[in-house]
Amino acid sequence: MLFLTPLTVSNALKWFSEETKTNRMESQTESISTDEISESSTQPTLATRLSLFLAISVTGLMADLWSKTHMFSELGLPHESNQVEWWVIKDFFGFQTAVNQGALFGIGQGGSSIFALFSVVAFIAILMWLIKGRAWQNLFLTTCLGCITGGVIGNFYDRMGWWHDAEIHPDYAHGVRDFILFTYQDYVWPNFNIADCLLVCGAFMLLIYSFKSEE
């Protein structure tokens, strides 16, 4: 027969209390570990954000180069006998080839070499900001820089003269191919391309980001 003395009961209660406390601590530790693992698995990494950056940049670049090649093949070079216009909305929106020796929307004509150098500097600055400046940690900023990079490289490609053969007119040798046309009555907006669209969209997003950061 088992006799329960006060000492035995006291020891049993003490043991039960310690076991309960230990189990509770282990449960809390497991819960914290699970939360940490879950949180770390949802946090973006440099590799995933760089992949997104490259995907946006390369997609934008390919769209720009393909559209330029296709439109110039279909519509011909500016001021040549075979050049044609293609109107989507008559006298408002269409496609017409033009070669721009300047920057965005025709600014700074004749400065292709300088703008090509600016493109290289801009590309290096973007990469430094993205990696060293940890811009990759912000999804919106990563997307913005991806758009700008695609536009920068697209126009840089043209300024290097890689889009034509050696027999092209010297005025076009290091110019940027433009083909999107907007007009309204007597006003004609300077022709532009998809790279320009990427640059404008990226710059606008960057402006939004700067305002949001100040709030």
The reply to whether 30 falls in a domain is yes
Mean pLDDT for the chain overall? 84
b/e map 129-145, b = 16+ CB within 10 Å: ebeeeebbeeeebbbbb
Q: Is 1 among the domain residues?
A: no
**Hey, what are 13's tokens?**
């209660």
Q: Which stretches of the chain drop beneath a pLDDT of 70?
A: 1-41, 104-106, 108, 166, 215
Q: How far apart are CA 70 and CA 108, in angstroms?
A: 26
Concatenating the DSSP letter of every residue in 21-34 gives: HHHHHHHHHHHHHH
pTM greater than the 0.85 cutoff: no
Q: Is 14 in the same domain as 82? A: no
Q: Which of 59, 107, 54, 74 is nearest to 179 (CA)?
A: 74
Gap between the Cα atoms of 67 and 90, Å rounded? 21
Residues 26 and 66 in one domain: no
In a domain, 91, yes or no: yes
Residue 95, helix vs strand vs coil: strand
Question: Are residue 21 and residue 61 in the same domain, yes or no?
Answer: no
Query: Are 21 and 124 contained in the same domain?
Result: no
pLDDT digits (tens, 9 = 90+) for 130-183: 999 999 999 999 999 999 999 999 999 999 988 887 677 777 888 999 999 999
Note the pLDDT of residue 35.
46
- Whole domain around residue 18: which residue ranges? 7-43
For the chain, what is the domain count? Answer: 2
Return the closest-CA partner of residue 72 out of 182, 179, 154, 168: 179
Q: Are both 37 and 105 inside the same structural domain?
A: no
Same domain? For 27 and 82 the reply is no
Q: Let me know whether 86 and 16 are in one domain.
A: no
15 with 93, same domain: the answer is: no
Same domain flag for 197 and 208: yes
Do 28 and 93 have their domain in common? no
User: Which residue numbers are catalytic?
Assistant: 178, 196
**Are residues 55 and 33 part of one domain?**
no
